[in-house]
Structure 1
Amino acid sequence: MAMQIPAPLAGKAALVTGAGRGIGRGIAVELARQGADVALVDVSDGGLAEVADEITGMGSKTTTFVADVSDRDAVFAAVDHAASALGGFDVMVNNAGIALVGPIADVTPDDLARLWAINVDGVLWGIQAAVAKFKELGRPGKIINASSIAGHEGFAMLGPYSATKFAVRALTQAAAKEHAADGITVNAYCPGVVGTDMWVEIDRRFAQLTGVAEGETFKKFTETIALGRPETPEDVAGFVAYLAGPGADYMTGQAGLIDGGMVYR
């Protein structure tokens, strides 16, 4: 009789922010497929019930929580809820983020404040909340942050967005150094052109600002991908699941590119 190999993330409890759609949804589903119980967090409950049903159908436990990641108290509350509802806490995926498309010259203080609050502050609060919970539970843990190809190379018309993703890499490196002795690893994932609602909006904004037809910007970026196709949430999710699993136990402070071959570092 063949020996059954346990799922890589069996017995682990994870939290994913921005889990209601797009990359976050893909990550949550993949973590569950690999055996994890998953807390789904988003700024609204739209889409969360559907993702929860999919995860429950796989046999994993799940719970949902509505929180704005720019609100530090809300992020801490989400982590507390996840640990209580799932009976533990092992993996924090700081995935939630927004884009801002436009010339640097046109950026307003309000634009920048909102972008920074979600993309950078939200990651920082997630790191803090996860570290506090790991220490409270007396166990090691994994923190995985959303950066981007724009965290390795600044892109025209995406200047402030790129700056936030560079900042995520800095936080990832610093947190990895500060918490290695606690048994906590901190890494980031850097997607490229993913076929999600965010890229639909990026493409639409490029069309408005440059006069090109809608779809042309997405097509232009896709044509630079060595593997010849746009990225899917599942492409990203497979890498995040690796970072969450035992194969990445000796990896920390890194920001891995998962972009099909666009940016090379």
Structure 2
Amino acid sequence: MSTAIVTGGGRGIGRGIALRLAKDGHAVAVVDVNKAGAEAVAAEIAEAGGTSTALACDVTDRAAVFTMVDEVAGELGSVDVMVNNAGIAQVKTLLEVTPEDLEAIFAVNVYGVLYGLQAAAERMIEQGTGGKIINASSIAGHSGFDFLGHYSATKFAVRALTQAAAKELAKHRITVNAYCPGIVGTDMWDLIDERMSAYNGKAKGETLEQYSQLIALGRVQTPEDVAGFVSYLAGRDADYMTGQAVMIDGGIVMV
């Protein structure tokens, strides 16, 4: 049985990915800074007959990430799929962004992805059986969004890391790809919707409704929509795919 790690797995998109990978037959390590959230998702997997474990980890702490990967390998036998999903958002104009804002968002969205990539790749190389590293980017990693400029910068950075890692790790039979969601009905988008009101004067829910009109398929995305694509990236059908950051957004950004 292959083992998958999902960071930020305690809620939202991460929860959807963890549940789907377990359904696909992977043993899943649900990792979150909030241990209770990780345990709740791991319990859902166990109740459905899957194999799971829950770990608390702050992805901004490099040593903690490496320790977490070692613990997963020790408990579940290997690390075959690494989903660097943990991320945060901030809503501000670029003129308002502070050094503290940059440090916080880059620490999670960029450093956290790189640390997870490093730890997983090291383990996969040692195992000698290849692997899949899957990173969370965004449509904001293809097109910069106003009021989300520094968030967009982190997601552009994830695309660069994904491409470079794909080239460096190919000789080890490790593929590296990214998924780029759009407007997903999660706590993160609730936060964006709420914070946007300070800039556009719209009532709660109106910003989400406005942005949702950009979706060609006509509905807000669900975590399960994202999880279905991550399932593909984690599976054998994606063995010849690497270095890609693919939009799964219902048709907002098209290239």
TM-score normalized by structure 1? Answer: 0.95
Q: Which residue of 2 aligns with 1:96?
A: 86
| Over 2 Å off, 4+ runs | none
What's the % identity of the aligned pairs? 62
Per-residue CA deviations over 1:102-133 (Å, capped at 9, x if unaligned) read 10000000000010000000000011001100
Q: Which residue of 2 aligns with 1:136?
A: 126
**Deviation for aligned residue 1:209:** 2.7
- Cα distance in structure 1, aligned partners of 2:89 and 2:175: 27
Does the alignment pair 1:72 with 2:72? no
**Deviation for aligned residue 1:94:** 0.1
- Cα distance in structure 2, aligned partners of 1:26 and 1:160: 26
**Deviation for aligned residue 1:38:** 0.2
- Please list, as runs of the form range in 1=range in 2, the aligned pairs for 1:87-166 lying within 5 A after superposition: 87-166=77-156
- Cα distance in structure 1, aligned partners of 2:215 and 2:195: 21
Q: Which residue of 1 aligns with 2:223?
A: 233
Per-residue CA deviations over 1:70-127 (Å, capped at 9, x if unaligned) read 1101111111111111111100000000001110000000000010000000000011
**Deviation for aligned residue 1:208:** 2.2
- Cα distance in structure 2, aligned partners of 1:197 and 1:228: 20
Q: Which residue of 1 aligns with 2:190?
A: 200
Q: Which residue of 2 aligns with 1:168?
A: 158
Specify the code of the residue in structure 2 equivalent to 1:62: S
Q: Which residue of 2 aligns with 1:256?
A: 246
Q: Unaligned 5+ residue runs, structure 1?
A: 1-10
Specify the code of the residue in structure 1 equivalent to 2:249: D
- Cα distance in structure 2, aligned partners of 1:46 and 1:217: 31
Match of 1:25 among 15, 40, 44: 15
Per-residue CA deviations over 1:194-216 (Å, capped at 9, x if unaligned) read 00000000000001232111111
Q: Which moved more, 1:27-36 or 1:44-53?
A: 44-53
8 Å contact from structure 2 (residues 38, 56) kept in 1: no
- Cα distance in structure 1, aligned partners of 2:118 and 2:213: 39
**Deviation for aligned residue 1:251:** 0.1
Q: For residue 95 of structure 2, give the secondary structure of its aligned residue in structure 1.
A: helix
- Cα distance in structure 1, aligned partners of 2:47 and 2:251: 34
- Cα distance in structure 1, aligned partners of 2:37 and 2:108: 19
| Count of matched residue pairs | 255
8 Å contact from structure 2 (residues 39, 53) kept in 1: no
Q: Which residue of 2 aligns with 1:211?
A: 201
Instruction: Tell me how large the CA RMSD over aligned residues is.
Output: 0.7
- Cα distance in structure 2, aligned partners of 1:162 and 1:45: 28
Q: Unaligned 5+ residue runs, structure 2?
A: none
